[in-house]
Structure 1
Amino acid sequence: MLEQQNKSAELEQMVVHTQNLDITLQELKNFVDANDIITDPDYQRRYVYDNKRASSLIESILIGIPIPVVYLAEEDEGIYSVIDGQQRITSFVRYLKNEFPLTGLKELKSLNGLLFKELDKSLQRRLKIKKISAVCIEKDSRELKYEIFSRLNLGAVKLRDQEVRNCLYRGKFNDMLKDIANTNPYLPSLFHDDNKRFAYEERILRFFALRNYMQLKGTYKLMMNDYMEHHLCDTDEQIKEAKNLYNGLIELIKTVLGENAFYSKSSQRKKFNGAVYDSIIIPFSYYPKKSILHHADEIRNEIEKLKSEDEEYNNMVYVGSNAGNKIRTRINAIMSILNRIIDHDDAKTNKRFFSYEIKEKLFHPGCICSYCGNQILSIDDCEVDHIIPYDKGGPTVIENAQLLHRSCNRSKGNRVINDDDFIDDSDDETDI
């Protein structure tokens, strides 16, 4: 009985709650103009209809040919984003706004060359009251919109995960991923390929999403989705900080390890390996740049030796490489090298506890507890915690520091989520 109840509860969580609406073209235009329906031109595949194809759509609705249903997702404040149907919606709105004349019509040839304002008044009214059907995914089901969009777009060429994320998680963080991918001068030489189908953006996101690798939970794909969802409203300062962090790391890695930094030595092909990338860029992000540069030769030699001789490490960067235990093991291997080589005494960081000065640098009005996700109201109500636990080799430096409520920090300890709580649902492409 209990098992049956659990199955019913699981099914209820996955049920998509929707409502069906019939929207006139005039209402559609009004909604778009008021930004109540978002059809951002940066939306995944962007607007690709030419005027002839858009004209054919106008002709179809005028003569009564059924128009495929569009799918909308309810966002905050009653705004809707388009999941499927952007081309149709944009074409109708463009014509009602007189942005193109009808062309190439086969049935209503007399209308060729006419803008909307040039149609007879009766035909204008007839077009404005024409309706399209919309399925609106209600707000309590919007976490499923990633899966819905994927299923609606099962075509000859399946959309890659990051192509879908680019469509669903539009905002400053997504713009930052694209900006880094398009402007960072070192990525082509380190990745050894072109940025096709948002491959660079996914690798950049991969760094941010996996950085707290001691707390992996859920599934690989969901973790990546959740990270973008949670950073939709990042401030300009947070975006700038994240961008500077990533760009600085890429330049540092290129300087210390060279163009082959993200290769695996045991591979028979010289190709970017995402698992090797994780194992290097994440540990590098937790140590001061000057400390790494000071020991660059020794770090380079030890990492090359690890790649060439360590069988366990090489097992962690191939089949099933996105399983939780493999992610932690390969990152800890590089973390151990850095921890062993970098002289913490010289850096004055050979201690377990952070200074009050670091606490002051981290605290700001509105800062959020990294454990519970709630706002920290007072500097006296928080403590500085290691992101990578001290007992796991994490250094006591600001790069490895986070603020938590005092009560959260003392209840958290240095627990690591069990590997069974993290499922690899990726395509297991180590070159992504």
Structure 2
Amino acid sequence: MGLQEEIDKTRQEIRTDGYSMSIGELISLYENNEINIYPEFQRFFRWSDYQKSAFIESILLGIPIPPIFVSQRDDGVWDVIDGLQRLSTIYEFVGVKQKNSEQESYFALQATTYLPSLKDKKWNDSQDPYNSLTMSQRLLIKRGKMTLNIIEKESDKMIKYELFQRLNTGGSIATPQEVRNCILLMLNPGLYNLMRSLADRESFKSCIALSDRLFEEQYDMELVLRFILLFDRDDDSLKQLGGDVSEFLTTRMREMAIKDDLDNRHIERAFDLTFDTLNESLGDNSFKRYRQEEDRFLGGFLLSAYEVIALGIGYNYKNPLPLVDIPNCVKSIWSHQIYQKWSGAGVNAARRLPYLIPLGREVFSR
């Protein structure tokens, strides 16, 4: 199929519509459960109170707002693909978005560049009328317009996930794994919950010993995903990873999410044996650099070590080595010629994985 045929075919698979709606109409849609903003995504979006205030300022001043992207489901409800934080800010400010606690106070704005008097202003607090917007100001917001781009339900079912990924990568979500988490929540909440459960295992957290920042950025979930996708992958497919492991993780995760025959028990047993074994034998030294001359582990978590050690033990989980052999096997990796050649600076993941993963399988086999 030539380029033009590919363009024509794919364009036919994407059906879209678009028009302007008032913010008041968007509030009504939310109140009537006709638009879904995926509340589970909130942990992956990190607008500060000032960013929220600046957004309300933009509405009041009539500054154009980027369009909202939604996907129409079979039941007619719109799933928000891009614009969740903008809509969430509106719903939170006007008081229709559910709060985490009944004791939470109304959302108060901060002073902004052009409207410093927004400081401490609320939507309409009967207990604090002085700091509430006037009726005129509230109507100004409700009559503000936002453009919606709608992917209609007749479109290819994977289009909205592709669009979500493209719109949010490098945007208000900080990391590729946070984008993957959102896609997974839309595609297969059960698989997301399995991954979250594995990431919360105490043995796993103890072994990887990540910084608070990396936990916040969901790097623990990326490590779980790497384990699930790679621990039992055959050697031939490892050689076909291509040049972008991040894209590989996203593509294979999406494929896994729509499978009907995923063996969760197989995954859990391999994962638990791997990290229970490592936690008992090495703890937070599991993926640190080993210095033979000093006979000690130094530094922090190393992904290349994880790729050899965790994936090697996981591959052999049905016939594991005795626990007492694990420390010496781990130490032996650091002087191994293959590891030294393929784990150094300048060797990207796509090039090293076809060598490091088989090395781990060999080292941790009986």
- Kindly indicate whether residue 336 of structure 2 is the aligned counterpart of residue 322 of structure 1: no
In the other structure, the counterpart of 1:398 is: none
CA distance in 2: counterparts of 1:128 and 1:115, whole angstroms: 13
In the other structure, the counterpart of 1:88 is: 86
1:132/1:166 CA distance change after superposition, 3 Å: same
Q: SS where residue 66 of structure 2 aligns?
A: coil
- Kindly indicate whether residue 176 of structure 2 is the aligned counterpart of residue 161 of structure 1: yes
In the other structure, the counterpart of 1:296 is: 323
CA distance in 1: counterparts of 2:39 and 2:46, whole angstroms: 9
Residue deviations 1:163-189 (CA, integer Å, cap 9, x gap)? 3223333234334434443x3333454
In the other structure, the counterpart of 2:287 is: 262
Residue type matched to 1:40 in 2?
P
Residue type matched to 2:224 in 1?
I
1:76/1:242 CA distance change after superposition, 3 Å: farther
Which residues of 2 match residues 23-422 of structure 1 at below 5 A? Answer: 23-33=21-31, 34=33, 36-46=35-45, 48=47, 50=49, 54=52, 57-58=55-56, 60-62=58-60, 64-73=62-71, 79-97=77-95, 100=106, 106=115, 115=124, 127-136=141-150, 139-140=155-156, 141-142=159-160, 143-153=162-172, 159-170=174-185, 171-181=189-199, 183-195=200-212, 196=214, 197-214=217-234, 215-216=237-238, 217=240, 219=242, 220-232=245-257, 242-243=267-268, 245-256=270-281, 259-265=284-290, 270-288=299-317, 291-292=319-320, 295-298=322-325, 300-308=327-335, 310-318=336-344, 319-323=346-350, 326-339=352-365, 341=366
In the other structure, the counterpart of 1:374 is: none
Give the CA deviation at 1:6. Answer: 4.2
Residue deviations 1:291-338 (CA, integer Å, cap 9, x gap)? 425x33345434433432x212322333435226x4233222232344
What is the percentage of aligned positions where both structures have the same residue?
Answer: 20
1:96/1:302 CA distance change after superposition, 3 Å: closer
CA distance in 2: counterparts of 1:133 and 1:210, whole angstroms: 42
| Mapped contact 1:43–1:167 kept (Cα < 8 A) | no
1:224/1:288 CA distance change after superposition, 3 Å: closer
Bigger drift between 298-307 and 263-272 goes to 263-272
CA distance in 2: counterparts of 1:13 and 1:45, whole angstroms: 34
| Mapped contact 1:102–1:113 kept (Cα < 8 A) | yes
| Mapped contact 2:35–2:80 kept (Cα < 8 A) | no
1:218/1:148 CA distance change after superposition, 3 Å: farther
CA distance in 1: counterparts of 2:140 and 2:252, whole angstroms: 46
Residue deviations 1:113-151 (CA, integer Å, cap 9, x gap)? 551899888876665443211234564333243133225
Residue type matched to 1:134 in 2?
L
1:92/1:192 CA distance change after superposition, 3 Å: closer
Q: Give the alignment's Cα RMSD to 1 decimal.
A: 4.3
Q: SS where residue 323 of structure 1 aligns?
A: helix
| Mapped contact 1:44–1:163 kept (Cα < 8 A) | no
Give the CA deviation at 1:209. Answer: 1.6
Q: SS where residue 285 of structure 2 aligns?
A: coil
Residue type matched to 2:361 in 1?
M
Give the CA deviation at 1:244. Answer: 5.5
Residue deviations 1:227-259 (CA, integer Å, cap 9, x gap)? 433454789x96677455423321112334554
Pairs aligned (count):
324
CA distance in 2: counterparts of 1:162 and 1:45, whole angstroms: 10
Q: SS where residue 292 of structure 1 aligns?
A: coil
1:58/1:149 CA distance change after superposition, 3 Å: closer
CA distance in 2: counterparts of 1:241 and 1:98, whole angstroms: 43
Q: SS where residue 42 of structure 1 aligns?
A: helix
| Mapped contact 2:93–2:122 kept (Cα < 8 A) | no
Q: SS where residue 68 of structure 1 aligns?
A: coil
CA distance in 1: counterparts of 2:347 and 2:315, whole angstroms: 25
CA distance in 1: counterparts of 2:150 and 2:291, whole angstroms: 50
1:121/1:210 CA distance change after superposition, 3 Å: same
CA distance in 2: counterparts of 1:204 and 1:49, whole angstroms: 29
1:258/1:30 CA distance change after superposition, 3 Å: same
Residue type matched to 1:297 in 2?
V
1:257/1:98 CA distance change after superposition, 3 Å: closer
1:152/1:332 CA distance change after superposition, 3 Å: closer
**Contiguous gaps of at least 5 residues in structure 2:** 98-105
CA distance in 2: counterparts of 1:95 and 1:243, whole angstroms: 42
| Mapped contact 1:213–1:327 kept (Cα < 8 A) | no
Give the CA deviation at 1:76. Answer: 6.7
